Structures are given as C-alpha cells and as structure tokens.
Amino acid sequence: MKTEDVIQFSIRATLGYPTRTLLMILAMSIGVASVILLTALGEGARRYVTREFSSLGTNLLIVLPGRSETTGGHPPLVGGTPRDLTLEDALSLTRSSAIRRVAPITVGSAPVSWKYRDREVTILGSTSELFEIRDLSMAQGRFIPSGDPTRGAAVCVMGYRLKKELFGNQSPLGEWTRIGDRRFRVVGVLAKKGQSLGLDMGDVVVAPVASAQALFNTSTLFRILVQANSRDAIPKAKKAILGIIRERHEGEDDITVVTQDAMLSIFDRIFTALTLSVAGIAGISLAVAGILIMNVMLIAVSQRTTEIGLLKAIGAPGRQILRLFLAESAILSLIGAAFGLILAFFGTWALARAFPSFPITVPVWALGAAVGVSLLTGLVFGVLPARRAAKLDPAQALSRR
C-alpha cells in the first residue's frame, strides 16, 4: 500500500466520524496551545528580567550596605545594617585600577514644584558618572556636572515624563524648581529609556549627591554603583571593593557586592526553570489529550470491527491495519497541533496587545517540542488501539452484520 494512500485512507476515516474527530482535535489543540502559551509567558518573564538588569549598564557591580547572610552573590534578604556606606567610602573606591567609574546613590522622595504645579517625586542623588554607568542619554540639555562630589551644586536633571507634567511643551532649561525646601536649576531632561529595576527613570529627579544628602539631611548612601574596567576585571574589582571597605570599616566585612552577571545568571536560571515547569504542567493537558485519543480510537476499533475484518479478507496483513490506525491517530494529533499553533498565535497576539511592554515571545524550541510531543502522544496512545485492530480475528468480525 502506498504511503499517500495510507494518508488518504486515514483522512477519509477521520472525516467519516466528524464528532469524535472534532473532539480529539479540540483536546489536542488545547494541549498544544497551552504548552506554547505558558512557555511564551515564562520566556517573556525571563526576557523581561534580563532586559531590566541589562539596562542597568555594563560591567556593573552594586555595593549594598549590610552583610549578606547567604554566601554567593545574592542581595541581602535578611541582614543588619551595621555600618552605613558614606560618600567617602564611595570615593575611596576609585583607588583600584580595576574600577573605571563609581556612582554613589542616595534615594529619597520629595515634592517637586514649578510655578503652581507640584508632584511628589523620587530624588536620586548621584554624580556625573551615573550617566555613563547607567548608560543614560539626554533629551535636552546636559547631565549634572562633574566636579567635587562633596560639594553639591543646586542643579538637577529630570525624567522626560516629569518634565512634561511640570513644564508641558515649554523648555525647562535654566528654570528654577523647588525641591523640598531648596531651589534647583534644571540643566537637562533625560531621554525616554523605560524602567530599570522597578525605578521609572521618566519620573525621577537626579541631583548631585551632596545636595540630595543635604536635602534629606543624611550622610549615608543607599548603594554604590561601580563600573569595572572590563568584563574580566569584575572579580578583581569585587575583591578591591571588599578590601577597601574592610580597611575603612575597621576590618569588618559589612557590605554586600552584587555583580550584574551573577544576578543575571541567577534570574536566568530561575526563569528557565520556571518556563520548563509551566511547560511541563501544560504538558499534562497533552497527556490528557493522549488518553482521550486512546479511548476514542479504542471505540473506533470496536465500531469498525467489520471494516477491519473486511480489510483483512481483501488482503491487508495485520501489519497494514496497524499502520492505518497509527496513521489515523498521528493525523488527528497533527491536525490538533496545527489548530493549537493557530490558537497559540492568537493567544500571544492578544497578550502582546494587552501588555505591550511585556516581551512575550514564543521560543522556537517550544513550537517544535509542542508539535513533536503531540505527534508522539498520538502515536504512543494510538499503539494500543491499533494493535487491538491488527490482532482482530477476521472470521469472527465478519460473522457479525
């Protein structure tokens, strides 16, 4: 029997029983679609987090006050704050040859006003080095000037959205705004860059670190961003940071240094595992579809007993009957998988429209795996019914009407 005839015969057989065919195709397509959609969501989450961390800048190390309880590069989840990080701590780090740039960060919240408009805004105190470290860009004007970081000038840079809210279409350059109880002159507006680490750079004001510390009446830092000279210099920079701070903190290791790579690889692992596990959970629906296929094919075999007997009588060996029934479940699985792909396509399209900032993407391996697994499911669960058909006693089958 020719392969094309096997396929054609099986397709005719599936069309002969439209209800059961539709049922099986539906089950299989839901299974395939859910595997693809959930995988796409997991992969989207992984990309989202990776993008967030990458947008922090390159070769980045983050110095946090407080010693991490766990070893390795985790941020401190539990841990005291024995000694604060100071601006002097940050500036002393430039001593190391492995370190290219240092940006101390202090964070607070204060009302920002211009004329009669005002808003509560996150204030980021830092130095001019933040511009390169965070890979920022300007929409208008320039960034806060370099110079002695311990002497804060009364200038500030604002995010593009805040600028729009306070100034509308007017240029804010050179204007004096009030932040808390002080006055700052606007020297620049940040270009649109999106979120990073949950902090929306469109909605912040960046001021010189000393001015921000004075504004919030503090001498401590929230964290220090350090840029190593190169990717290879990151471990050396980390060692240098730990050494310099230990020296300054009287031999105490009371800081945590997190490297961007470490965070990235941790999140990458977490989200890859997450993607695989949701894909596995969705795979259960494929198994359910497989069991359904098996049952429906078993019913088909008993419904078509005389047909099988007849095929044997006109010269089909058991092997051939097995092939015909396996082809039938494979074809049903593949049609189901095709509909599943279409379903998943519309699903991702709808999700992408509903959440435009979420990078939902279907990994190519998930497409292949979903179709492959559905075909495999159809074949594996089709074996039992097909074998039953192949073993049928034709004499007995044909004695019935």
236 Cβ contact list (under 8 Å, min separation 6): 96, 98, 228
Residue of 225, 209, 223 lying closest to 126 (CA atoms): 209
SS3 123: strand
Q: Give yes or no for residue 22 binding other proteins (CB under 8 A).
A: no
Q: Whole-number minimum distance, CB 304 to other proteins, in Å?
A: 9
Separation CA 312–CA 298 (nearest Å): 18
CA atoms within 13 Å, Cβ hemisphere of 25: 20
Q: Distances from the Cα of 24 to the Cαs of 31, 204, 297, 366, in angstroms?
A: 11, 55, 10, 21
Tokens of 184: 């700052």
Q: Give yes or no for residue 311 binding other proteins (CB under 8 A).
A: yes
Number of residues that bind other proteins (CB under 8 A): 29
Tokens of 97: 């040859």
Q: Whole-number minimum distance, CB 392 to other proteins, in Å?
A: 11
In 249-356, which residue ranges form alpha helices assigned H by DSSP?
260-303, 305-313, 318-354
Which of these ranges, 45-53, 63-71, 203-211, 387-395, lies near other proteins under the rule CB under 8 A? 387-395
Q: Give yes or no for residue 2 binding other proteins (CB under 8 A).
A: yes
Q: Whole-number minimum distance, CB 9 to other proteins, in Å?
A: 7
Which of these ranges, 52-60, 149-157, 208-216, 313-321, lies near other proteins under the rule CB under 8 A? 313-321
Q: Across the chain, how many H-helices and E-strands are there?
A: 12, 12
Q: Which is nearer to other proteins, 70 or 303 (CB)?
A: 303
Q: Give yes or no for residue 5 binding other proteins (CB under 8 A).
A: yes
Q: Give yes or no for residue 310 binding other proteins (CB under 8 A).
A: yes
Residue of 42, 230, 205 lying closest to 130 (CA atoms): 205
Contact call for residues 226 and 60 (beta carbons, < 8 A)? yes
Q: Which is nearer to other proteins, 278 or 389 (CB)?
A: 389
Q: Which is nearer to other proteins, 13 or 186 (CB)?
A: 13
Look-up of token digits 């259960």: 284
Contact call for residues 229 and 100 (beta carbons, < 8 A)? yes
Contact call for residues 208 and 127 (beta carbons, < 8 A)? yes
Q: Give yes or no for residue 319 binding other proteins (CB under 8 A).
A: yes
Q: Give yes or no for residue 314 binding other proteins (CB under 8 A).
A: yes
Q: Whole-number minimum distance, CB 302 to other proteins, in Å?
A: 15
Instruction: Identify each DSSP E strand in 84-162 by its residue range.
Output: 99-114, 117-126, 138-141, 155-158
Which of these ranges, 103-111, 279-287, 301-309, 351-359, lies near other proteins under the rule CB under 8 A? 301-309
Q: Give yes or no for residue 151 binding other proteins (CB under 8 A).
A: no
Q: Whole-number minimum distance, CB 316 to other proteins, in Å?
A: 5
Q: Which is nearer to other proteins, 235 or 318 (CB)?
A: 318
Amino acid at 353: R
Separation CA 237–CA 228 (nearest Å): 6
Q: Give yes or no for residue 394 binding other proteins (CB under 8 A).
A: yes
Q: Give yes or no for residue 307 binding other proteins (CB under 8 A).
A: yes
Q: Give yes or no for residue 392 binding other proteins (CB under 8 A).
A: no
Which of residues 22, 276, 299, 313 is near other proteins by CB under 8 A? 313
Q: Give yes or no for residue 320 binding other proteins (CB under 8 A).
A: yes
Residues that bind other proteins (CB under 8 A): 1-2, 5, 9, 12-13, 15-16, 306-307, 309-320, 393-395, 398-401
